[in-house]
Structure 1
């Protein structure tokens, strides 16, 4: 059971969701390249994830890592995703192995499979009785270079699991919003992830016993493009929110 957790990219939206629910659950060490502008739980380390020495020092003594840091822009150019999302993620995995950390939860993205939405049957995937749902066993089909970087982070996790027995959970995060899903955006409703379900899912990623997993990060929405059955079965994910409850 994780007692101390390193959270990279702590100042971002996903970090806010996690800390908002789990601030008192662990001893936190937070890492971000920008200095904090508000109070955070635990120790705050200002460093870039491409700085191998700084990351190794931040990793020391941790039980688990939640890796969120990177360029989150969907239109990010290769000149940014290569160092920030790919090289930086490799540094995180390498430091985890070097410091004896057993578990890494990696924030992947639905953009790693974005081009599945070009399939002809995509418009039908929001029906409640539809059996066509991505479940993490499909090959990546990135929709942009950001998605390429997230798919690469998943492959790096596979390598570090197979080579070093690191437990890695890759969470393909959907549409994370704080208060409610986008009411007038059907695709966004199907992909919605609430803040509390996000925090719960990442908590299960650092608490459960598994080897290597790719799971989808969405709430228990009536409409689903992605399956959450693997997250339920392996991680014990028990989402509480449903975008249908907010429909007008």
Structure 2
């Protein structure tokens, strides 16, 4: 059986490394990065330059878009360049070249504003004794509440994906990833513990999206490892 051709932008990052580790034998991966990656089939291009990435989208069935300006330590100009313009370029290159599906790496930062309210404020601060027995997890249907410009840029990526799905017949699946530490294990800090995501769980979520029925045109999912104090709904 022929392996699916899957292009991964930003494959040198933590999620991309997990995908190669857990799924590298199942799919025919190609990484697209600004700089070469040792030991992985990859091409060099910049998502901020549409013309430079178009040739590498040809022949790909699915694109997993991970490349982004990070949530901290970057300027608003970087966020606009990579998370606004760059995301547009990825969707547009997919449209031009006939890619069937884009899997967009969104973020839990799209809804972190809810932690200003109870019971999520108490969960994030570790005041579990103040949390009642019955409380509702945040679902992908709840209104977005980004906590910074990075989170707002991820909201843009989701909304733009909806546009390309509705008007250009592109299947777009958005994954709101939680916290993936380098050590691949949770710590006892309540804020990060509540959104901890194992590398294997992250890879499994992407795998499910790659293999999802082609009739699924658009959807959004949270991706965190299940635990009692996880406040993002996984159903």
In structure 2, what is the equivalent of residue 187 of structure 1? 191
Q: TM-score, normalised by structure 1?
A: 0.85
Query: What SS does the corresponding residue of 1:193 show, helix, strand or coil?
Result: coil
Q: TM-score, normalised by structure 2?
A: 0.90
In structure 2, what is the equivalent of residue 39 of structure 1? 39
Separation in 2 of the partners of 1:8 and 1:116?
A: 30
In structure 2, what is the equivalent of residue 165 of structure 1? 169
In structure 1, what is the equivalent of residue 14 of structure 2? 13
**Cα distance, 1:106–1:169 mapped onto 2, change above 3 Å:** same
Residue 80 (structure 2) pairs with residue 79 (structure 1): no
Cα RMSD, aligned residues only = 1.8
Contact between 1:173 and 1:218, CA under 8 Å: does it hold in 2? yes
Residue 223 (structure 2) pairs with residue 226 (structure 1): no
Separation in 2 of the partners of 1:60 and 1:129?
A: 52
In structure 2, what is the equivalent of residue 240 of structure 1? none
Counterpart selection for 1:137 from 141, 146, 150:
141
Residues matched between the structures, number: 226
Structure 1 segments of 4+ aligned residues over 6 angstroms from their partners: none
Contact between 1:2 and 1:64, CA under 8 Å: does it hold in 2? no
Q: How far off its partner does 1:74 sit?
A: 2.6
Contact between 1:59 and 1:95, CA under 8 Å: does it hold in 2? yes
In structure 2, what is the equivalent of residue 111 of structure 1? 109
In structure 1, what is the equivalent of residue 88 of structure 2? 90
Contact between 1:107 and 1:171, CA under 8 Å: does it hold in 2? yes
Which structure 2 residue ranges, 5 or more long, are not aligned? Answer: none
Separation in 2 of the partners of 1:2 and 1:25?
A: 7
In structure 1, what is the equivalent of residue 150 of structure 2? 146
Query: What SS does the corresponding residue of 1:219 show, helix, strand or coil?
Result: coil
**Cα distance, 1:104–1:128 mapped onto 2, change above 3 Å:** farther
Contact between 1:173 and 1:216, CA under 8 Å: does it hold in 2? yes
